[in-house]
Amino acid sequence: MRLPGLLHWFAMVEGAMRIDRFLWFVRLAKTRSAAQAIAERGHLRIDGRPIDRAHCPVRVGNVLTFAVADQVRVIRVEALPARRGPAPEAQGCYQDLIAGRTPADTVRDPASE
């Protein structure tokens, strides 16, 4: 039995979530609009494929690569969140694949010491 309209589309991508919702739910983007902008700029990749649409599905196991605040983020999707929860809950939904990253505000300049 074929479901009408959007119900059919959502049934086809069970176990997936729109990339803009994922970025917003896991707090990698401050607003849903910002998440849409990240996806639509064409600088986001899912498993190496360039993405230019906010509605592209993301699934558990996908590797996302994108630039945020002069840094390249590479993350693996570990779980699809059900809501935009607190930061510790959100961070449990992905794994940062760049080891040893230091936030920009904690980088020390050895010349100034």
**Which domains does the chain possess?**
5-99 (3.10.290.10)
Q: Which residues does residue 17 pair with via DSSP β-bridges, in sequence order?
A: 58
Give residue 68's pLDDT: 75
Name residues whose C-beta falls within 8 Å of residue 79's C-beta, 6 or more positions apart in sequence: 60, 92, 93
Q: 84 and 34 in contact (C-beta within 8 Å)?
A: no
Q: For residue 35, which phi and psi values (nearest 5 degrees)?
A: -65, -40
Helix and strand counts by DSSP (H, E) for the chain:
4, 7
Note down pLDDT in tens along the chain; length 113 residues: 444 555 444 444 568 999 999 999 999 989 999 999 988 988 899 999 999 899 999 999 999 998 877 888 899 999 999 999 899 999 999 999 986 554 444 444 445 45
Give residue 86's pLDDT: 92
Give residue 108's pLDDT: 45
Give residue 48's pLDDT: 92
Give all strands (DSSP E) within 9-111, no chain letters. Answer: 16-18, 44-46, 49-51, 57-59, 63-68, 71-77, 94-96
